């Protein structure tokens, strides 16, 4: 009797709306079309280090299309090539990649599907170079993966951020305040740009364009003279003033991404009050952008990406991520994805459109 093929799925990095939709798509297509056995690795690469996984049956992935988070769990602290052992002053790092490769080979996998951002897929590329058959799926609310026009989770995050902006708009106008909405975006300002434009922000600050507080104050004062006694400012957590630095909330040394940003909204609010004497309030969207049910767009995109990942496994197209170019799905070498975040081009058409409407980018 011919032995069934077996594949495994893991989800790494931060959680994101649409992950379960990908897990569902990969599992159902693998079982229905190819009678492939599917293994779910628990908590990302940590599950491969500690041999923690579960078999995924058809019924296990039914009714998870609309579910946020990931049924497999995830972590940002499990790079097998640089794995943290111990805590505090006793923290040390070890290369446990050989353990992971050994455990993968014991599972006798046809392929490992890695769902994640540049950190997770960067590790996937290293495993691929160590002769593990890998297919990647682009996951991040930040939309900052090279080689793809869009990632699933981005549309959901923009929708949530935009709703937040809409809600502070009315209180800003009622109380004649400057309202600052801080959104995620460590290295790239995609969420701030899209939600800021969608929410009608007067000022949008992104990491790609260092801001001048004098310019921001000038815009706010000019609006006040025109009878606009409030302003909406949308700022990426990774934005910084000209000649200044980002605001770091804390350092998590055992994490694959140790720097945790946060607080730029409050720092900016203090400066705006100092330079304008206008009442200022800050709202941090934070992890609200990661949680909850994915938008219909992200459900569709995640389903499309997941099913294409299975096609790539059947064709043995390993070492690639499924990417989006225009209206088509494409193969993107993991080597490109691992090169670092995709930033917002300064000539992006949406920046040009926003500027033409009078939106200030702090420069």
Closest CA to 82 of 53, 122, 112, 43: 122
Bridge-partner residues for 178, per DSSP? 231, 280
The tokens describing 192, both together, are 């701030």
* Alpha-carbon span 35 to 60, nearest angstrom: 16
Long-range contact set of residues 262-271: C-beta below 8 Å, sequence gap at least 24 = 262/182, 262/237, 262/286, 264/182, 264/235, 264/236, 264/237, 264/238, 264/239, 264/240, 265/180, 265/181, 265/182, 265/235, 268/180, 268/205, 268/213, 268/216, 268/233, 268/235, 268/239, 269/178, 269/180, 271/213
SS3 letters across 286-339: HHHHCCCCCCHHHHHHHHHHHHHHHHHHHCCCCCEEEEEECCEEEEEEHHHHCC
Provide the 8-state DSSP code for 152.
B
* Alpha-carbon span 230 to 252, nearest angstrom: 37
The catalytic site residues sit at: 142
* Alpha-carbon span 220 to 225, nearest angstrom: 9
The answer to whether residues 116 and 136 touch, using CB atoms and an 8 Å cutoff, is: yes
Q: Give 112: exposed, middle or buried? Use CB within 10 Å, 0-12, 13-18, 19+.
A: buried
């Amino acid at each position: 009797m011919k032995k069934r093929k077996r594949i495994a799925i893991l989800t790494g990095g931060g959680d994101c709306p649409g992950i379960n939709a990908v897990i569902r798509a990969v599992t159902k297509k693998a079982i229905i079309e190819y009678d492939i056995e599917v293994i779910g690795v628990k908590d990302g690469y940590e599950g491969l280090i500690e041999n923690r996984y579960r078999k995924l049956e058809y019924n296990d992935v039914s009714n998870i299309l609309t579910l946020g988070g990931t049924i497999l769990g995830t972590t940002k602290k499990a790079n097998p090539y640089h794995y943290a052992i111990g805590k505090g002053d006793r923290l040390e790092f070890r290369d446990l990649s050989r353990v992971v490769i050994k455990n993968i080979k014991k599972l006798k996998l046809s392929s490992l599907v890695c769902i994640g951002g540049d950190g997770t897929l960067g590790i996937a590329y290293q495993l691929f170079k160590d002769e593990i058959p890998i297919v990647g799926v682009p996951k991040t609310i930040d939309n900052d993966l090279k080689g793809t026009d869009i990632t699933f989770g981005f549309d959901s995050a923009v929708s949530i951020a935009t709703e937040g902006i809409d809600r502070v708009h009315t209180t800003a106008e009622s109380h004649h305040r400057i309202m600052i909405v801080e959104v995620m975006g460590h290295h790239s300002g995609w969420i701030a740009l899209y939600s800021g434009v969608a929410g009608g922000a007067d000022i949008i600050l992104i990491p790609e364009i260092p801001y001048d507080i004098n310019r921001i104050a000038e815009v706010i004062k000019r609006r006040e003279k025109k009878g606009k006694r409030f302003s909406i400012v949308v700022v990426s957590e990774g934005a910084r003033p000209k000649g200044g630095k980002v605001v770091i909330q804390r350092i998590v040394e055992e994490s694959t991404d140790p720097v945790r940003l946060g607080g730029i909204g409050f720092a900016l609010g203090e400066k705006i009050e100092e330079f304008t004497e206008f009442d200022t309030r800050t709202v941090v969207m934070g992890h609200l952008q990661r949680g909850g049910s994915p938008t219909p767009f992200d459900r569709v995109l995640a389903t499309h990406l997941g099913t294409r990942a299975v096609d790539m496994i059947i064709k043995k197209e390993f070492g690639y991520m499924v990417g989006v170019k225009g209206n088509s799905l494409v193969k993107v070498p993991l080597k490109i994805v691992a090169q670092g975040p995709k930033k917002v081009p300064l000539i992006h058409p949406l920046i040009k459109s926003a500027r033409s409407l009078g939106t200030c980018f702090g420069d």
